Amino acid sequence: MSTINSYSDIFRKDKITNKFVDIDKTIYVQEVQLTAANLIAMRTTPVVVVPAVAGEVLDFVGAVCIFDYNSVQFTGGGSVSFVEQTSGTGLSGNIADTVIKAAANSITKVLPIAATLTENKGICITNGTAAFAAGNSVMRVKVAYRRYPTGL
């Protein structure tokens, strides 16, 4: 990690360059609450959890999904995952539909998978097989990601 130790260092290009390199390593966290309506509709309408940033690629680092069971279980559905906005490129492993259909609170860690990334794309959560039905629970999603300017 670089540091700027004295007033004279402020004007040294090497010190400033190193500081910007450190900034690029920042991991951002975005929290989004998914309503029951979001969970039911996300098969056809993926939910944007991190919006696109012009001229940058977003690197999915991982997520924690906190399912808060209310009183009515979801039915139907399928596995849930994180994908690139509009391209649909998979970014994560799957969360089993049983997590969302359960009659219990849960916390699920989601890991990234190898993916070819595209600039100007956000990160979405979706389920790729079938829509959930009924259900009245919510899920908080905490997504960790990095931002990289592409210069393209």
Please name each of the domains of the chain with its CATH number. Answer: 27-149 (2.60.120)
Alpha-helix residue ranges (DSSP H) falling in the chain: 13-24, 36-41, 97-101
* Backbone phi, psi, residue 67, to 5°: -90, 125
Summarised one tens digit per residue, pLDDT across range 67-125 is: 999 999 999 999 999 999 999 999 999 999 999 999 999 999 999 999 999 999 999 99
Question: Parallel, antiparallel, or unpaired for β 74-76 and 132-134?
Answer: antiparallel
For the segment 14-32, the average pLDDT, to the nearest whole number, is 75
CA gyration radius, the chain: 19
Alpha-helix residue ranges (DSSP H) falling in 25-111: 36-41, 97-101
pTM value? 0.84
pLDDT of residue 20: 60
Please, are residues 112 and 92 in contact by the beta-carbon 8 Å criterion?
yes
Is the pLDDT reported for residue 15 higher than 70? no
Query: Residue 144 corresponds to which tokens in the numbers above?
Result: 């960790």
User: What value, to the nearest 5°, has the Cα angle with vertex 123 and ends 112 and 58?
Assistant: 75
pLDDT of residue 25: 75
Judged by DSSP in three states, 135 sits in: coil
